[in-house]
């Protein structure tokens, strides 16, 4: 039996789908990780094994093979820990493979089984939205993942609570939507004395979404006027904020 769990590979500001395949078969006991992993991904074997031991589980005395598909795509980062662990638990019969098929999983594992933050959760959530799946992520990053609208988010603090949630013996609370950090206010347009024509040009550019080019000698106030422009723009919608992140 081959257990499958979905995750992502980060290429710049893009998340590509990656399938974690786990096979537990008779043979020389060992834990083999293939599929072009980097050093951080290769070290997942030790973190996953320690996290399972913290749960009271030991690896079966069989040949365990983890394949990260597609094999030609470089895999970097520690966020593969959680999907590798879930694929292994599914192959061992501890986790439900059908439930896991509905999620994309990302997260790093601590040695005691905690699921700790890893970079790129928002990109993973956007990918899950496109794939029409939910997202399993670290508990402290649930609010960040909620920026991707319409994605069911399971934010788990540790492996035990995640498995209990999937089995229905525990309910993890839905994370609250993320809030944007209050941005520092720049100069206020009302503090600019004179420059009525330039201020009028700023207002027209802000209202109509036009480009703006200011030309003048040094000290004429171009930089001050430019610093006032964000203060007269409306707040970004969630969609606009995602577009420029």
Selected residue with higher pLDDT from 123 and 243: 123
Which residue in 130, 118, 122, 56 sits closest to 84, CA to CA?
118
- Look at strands 153-156 and 108-109 and give their pairing: unpaired
pLDDT tens, position by position, 155-202: 999 999 999 999 999 999 999 987 766 666 668 888 888 889 999 999
* Mean pLDDT of all residues in 36-58: 95
Query: Is the Cβ–Cβ distance between 135 and 128 less than 8 Å?
Result: yes
- The CATH class that applies to domain 2-167 reads alpha beta
What integer pLDDT is reported at residue 245 of this predicted model?
63
**Distance between CA atoms of 161 and 169, rounded to whole angstroms?**
9
What integer pLDDT is reported at residue 234 of this predicted model?
83
């Amino acid at each position: 039996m081959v257990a499958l769990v979905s995750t992502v590979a980060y290429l710049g500001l893009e998340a590509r789908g990656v399938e974690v395949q786990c096979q537990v078969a008779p043979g020389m006991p060992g834990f083999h990780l293939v599929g072009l992993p980097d050093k951080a991904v290769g070290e997942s074997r030790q973190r996953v094994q320690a996290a399972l031991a913290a749960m009271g589980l030991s690896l079966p005395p069989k040949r365990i093979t983890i394949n990260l598909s597609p094999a030609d795509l470089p895999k970097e980062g520690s966020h593969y820990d959680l999907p590798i662990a879930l694929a292994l638990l599914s192959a061992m019969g501890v986790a439900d493979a059908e439930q896991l098929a509905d999620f994309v999983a990302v997260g790093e594992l601590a040695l005691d089984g905690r699921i700790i933050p890893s970079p790129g959760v928002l990109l993973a959530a956007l990918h899950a939205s496109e794939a029409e799946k939910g997202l399993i992520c670290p508990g402290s990053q649930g609010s960040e993942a909620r920026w991707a609208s319409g994605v069911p988010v399971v934010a788990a603090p540790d492996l035990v609570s995640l498995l209990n949630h999937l089995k229905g013996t525990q309910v993890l609370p839905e994370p609250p939507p993320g809030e944007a950090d209050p941005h520092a206010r720049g100069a206020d347009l009302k503090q600019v004395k004179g420059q009525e024509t330039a201020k009028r040009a700023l207002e027209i550019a802000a209202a109509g979404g036009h480009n703006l080019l200011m030309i003048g000698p040094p000290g004429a106030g171009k930089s001050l006027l430019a610093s006032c422009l964000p203060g007269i723009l409306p707040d970004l919608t969630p969609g606009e904020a995602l577009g420029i992140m």
